[in-house]
A and B are shown apart, each in its own frame.
Chain A
């Protein structure tokens, strides 16, 4: 029994499925993904998507989302490169969407004979993107190029309230709007304005009149840039940003830490050894005072406000929605 016969037999016997429209859409994979869409293997080219002007606008924008101070801002951390790497992911093969595994080359192997770090380092598997699955490839093509260009069946986005516009178009148009608003309100392209003017404009961009919420994506262009700025600064450097891991250092976190990790098993003693500089079961050394007393570093006013706002809002929910939340 070949596929067509299976399908025909299925069709003839499955009135329910026919009624709900299964079979009309089930015959072939949307867009023939997998065989038809895979480009021939190519060396990864240095690709650019943005014009110089667009890139300058994007760099200026992300640099006000996470601005430079004593620590680098999002521009220096490479957030714009992260965005461009995503938007051009399909220029290479395999597409640069998922970094490889298991290890980068940033941490040594453990020496399990005695529970110490060894001097051997793995090759950087993060540097080679993974081949996406058929669904992953189709999904990211739709994300970048839009549902129609990717060949998504129309019902998929229609049942979610519209069509999926591609991020490449969204960025191109969004950055044009940024500069148009800057020109109209401040008299120059966004990148040429003072940081005070740029900050004032961010509040303008953060209104639905300038950047409305996309009904299928559920967020605005500014939301998208904020998310990408955060991702670019603090994801693995192989994605294009977080230059040299400086984003992680700024946050005081280790970043990817395999294969060493924080607990090293010693075969000699048949027990684990913790790393004194990165302890697992005790407080951080830089928050311990004389005699081992805890001396927490104070939060910034912003961090304090974030915690307090969560505490306040959940208290309101508990008070006014006792049957629902409490």
Chain B
């Protein structure tokens, strides 16, 4: 480590006496915290570097009981003053639809929170699994096309060059034990037996039963039950979530306080990776966490990483050394760190095939809204309790795609899971800001009694209901992260430049399901049902916070960045274990699969390749 750091106890938790580390992990979110837990449990010494600040000041104190965080029911703190979210002025990203233009610097290009515990603490912690077929999607669709005369799928067959689909190098069966371990570690609530007919098989039940369903979820579910898709009924179901519905693992049950999606959890009922994984690692005495520690680049000799260069709170640069390194900074930031890591010959580390940063995927979110005549009080609940998986487009069990006939031709429509939601009753940002600023002058209510009346109505925050489909994004080589040539962040680093446009694969699914989504809301009693403008289709960054791809996992070094073990092709001690490794995005919220994948990769590193 060289010269001792001047204030080695500042911004450090865990064992401060550790002098050498087996593994250094960059990022303390769902991927990194999970890996730290597995590795320390297996006896490894682990250093975790977290770029953000720490909302859990006593995370390493064995006497600390819940609540352990500084989180609170505070709209201003999170939604206005960015307590967890990076400031766009300091850490902009640039965006462009294709490589014919310069990237435009923007405050928000799919930014995720930066803090100990990562983005998942800031989500509503929905945790469906991927389907069995998702891990072999490319070969399954190719086989289906071969067996089904007249079936054409965008991105496949004659159109294959327009996308870059790939099977995962692992199967659902390979990952299933780690899904079960992830659900146990994070404490997932769900219906036993599973009431989602499209979920794939599971070896163990959900650890906890579901909590109280939200009014809004029940209203939309009733609408869905009166709606047909392709001539058959729809199947609304309990939404699995890593939120306690019982006392579990030292944390209390959720009280449905309402400030859930976009907020940290005040009483620890949500499964923040800091609480459920990183804390366990810290308590082994084999883990040290350094926060406000922004990783910059990997110092290396071309075949091995020698250290992580990082910046501390005072702007000083340090090298952190270990035997092995794990990138878990989220797909965009993990890719940026690699793109800033040059070999002695001046090449980007691990990028012999020019694959780093490519195949960036989000989910194409289709958002259909309406207004209920009564107040739906979304401030009571946990954002989403009920959903619908019919629009993933699979047969029950998720082992085959559902073939339907449209205008006489066979088609498949792989969309995604649908969340039943509402405003969370946020009066400042969901009502006031929208009424004053988002609508054209003359139709909005900028000020005066009109604004006050509309806010007292909760015209938006108490009456809007919504369905969001998280549709699968096709992977494309041209959708990518690279370094912007001119725009820099507050650290002086080139910012990530996102080049991204949608593929017909997801647009077809969107168009197929929009009329059904509208009908569901109408059947639920909603008025003024409308399709929300879709940023990604208007030349703006996608709205999704589901960020995947960029360091694709695969067997072939020519077409992927890491192997099935999560280790970089051609770099013997560097791993990735966040959403960056996903070869395809599927149509399900990604975090449980990030956790399961991190468990599998970390068990492999530790030599404990199966869960105990």
Contacts and interface: CB of A to CB of B under 8 A. Distances in A.
Interface of A: 1-3, 6-7, 10, 13-17, 20-30, 32-35, 64-67, 69, 71, 73, 97-104, 110, 112, 125-126, 130, 133-136, 138-139, 142, 152-153, 155-157, 159-160, 164, 199, 202, 206, 216, 219, 223, 226-227, 229-231, 234-236, 239, 248, 250-265, 267, 270, 272, 274, 278-284, 287, 294, 296-297, 299-315, 317-318, 321, 323-326
Contact of B309 (A6, A104, A304): A6
Given A20-B485, A231-B428, A310-B528, A98 B3 contact: no
A251 B432 CA distance: 11
A284 B89 contact: no
B267 A202 contact: no
Contact of B437 (A223, A235, A256): A223
Given A306-B439, A324-B538, A265 B253 contact: yes
Contact of B492 (A22, A160, A252, A326): A22
Given A227-B436, A314-B530, A325-B534, A281 B70 contact: no
A252 B458 contact: yes
14 contacts: A26-B492, A65-B448, A67-B449, A71-B452, A100-B70, A130-B70, A133-B292, A159-B92, A159-B487, A230-B433, A231-B80, A231-B428, A251-B456, A321-B538
A206 B494 contact: no
Interface in B438-464: 439-441, 443-460, 462-463
B53 A136 contact: yes
Given A136-B83, A202-B448, 12 more contacts: A13-B344, A29-B316, A101-B264, A133-B53, A156-B89, A227-B436, A253-B425, A257-B73, A259-B67, A303-B453, A309-B443, A326-B511
A301 B487 CA distance: 46
B375 A35 contact: no
A306 B212 contact: no
A152 B451 CA distance: 37
A135 B90 contact: yes
A221 to B, nearest CB: 13
A318 B511 CA distance: 12
Contacts of B73: 255-258
Q: Which 7 A-B pairs have the closest CB atoms?
A: A261-B255, A29-B315, A25-B492, A303-B457, A101-B72, A303-B459, A133-B53
A156 B90 contact: yes
Contact of B483 (A20, A35, A160, A321): A20
Most chain A CB atoms below 10 A, which of B76, B443, B537? B76
Contact of B488 (A1, A22, A134, A248): A22
Interface stretch (B160-168, B325-333, B377-385, B401-409): B377-385
B255 A262 contact: yes
B531 A313 contact: no
A322 B82 CA distance: 35
B427 A253 contact: yes
B600 to A, nearest CB: 33
Nearest to B339: A16
- Interface residues of chain B: helix, strand, loop or mixed (majority): loop
A74 B433 CA distance: 15
A302 B446 contact: no
B346 interface: yes
Nearest to B344: A13
B490 interface: yes
Interface in B411-441: 425, 427-428, 432-433, 435-437, 439-441
Contacts of B381: 262, 280
B486 interface: yes
B458 A262 contact: no
B74 A126 contact: yes
A252 B3 CA distance: 59
Contacts of A253: 379, 425, 427, 458, 462
Interface in B227-244: none
Interface string B529-563: 01111100111000000000000000000000000
B256 interface: yes
A151 to B, nearest CB: 11
A173 B446 CA distance: 22
A253 B426 CA distance: 9
B118 interface: no
B608 interface: no
Contact of A302 (B313, B346, B453): B453
A64 B447 CA distance: 7
B215 A310 contact: no
A274 B381 CA distance: 11
B87 A135 contact: yes
Given A64-B448, A66-B451, A325-B537, A315 B530 contact: yes
Nearest to B257: A261
Nearest to B106: A160
B71 interface: yes
A6 to B, nearest CB: 6
Interface in B54-101: 55, 67, 69-77, 80-83, 86-87, 89-90, 92
B374 A283 contact: yes
Interface residues of B, number: 121
B146 interface: no
Nearest to A284: B375
Contacts of A10: 309, 317
B530 A310 contact: yes
A261 B533 contact: no
B71 A102 contact: yes
Contact of A251 (B255, B455, B494): B455
Contact of B77 (A98, A248, A296): A98
B72 to A, nearest CB: 3
Contacts of A310: 439, 460, 528, 530
Most chain A CB atoms below 10 A, which of B246, B427, B528? B427
A236 B70 contact: no
Contacts of A65: 447-448, 451
A227 B428 CA distance: 8
B254 interface: yes
B303 to A, nearest CB: 16
Contact of B459 (A26, A101, A299): A299
Contact of B87 (A64, A103, A139, A324): A139
B52 interface: yes
B346 A231 contact: no
Nearest to B439: A309
Contacts of B259: 256
B315 A28 contact: yes
Contacts of B487: 159
B274 to A, nearest CB: 14
B75 to A, nearest CB: 6
B606 interface: no
Most chain A CB atoms below 10 A, which of B71, B212, B267? B212
A258 B266 contact: yes
A204 B536 CA distance: 36
B373 A296 contact: yes
Contacts of A33: 314-315
Contact of A21 (B71, B253, B488, B528): B488
A134 B447 contact: no
Given A261-B257, A280-B212, A251 B530 contact: no
Contacts of B449: 67, 69, 302
Contacts of A104: 72
Nearest to A250: B456
Interface in B300-347: 309, 311, 313-319, 340, 342, 344, 346
B216 to A, nearest CB: 9
Nearest to B507: A323
Contact of B490 (A135, A263, A270, A272): A135
B143 to A, nearest CB: 32
A1 B309 CA distance: 12
Nearest to A122: B67
A299 B452 contact: no
B144 interface: no
Nearest to B536: A324
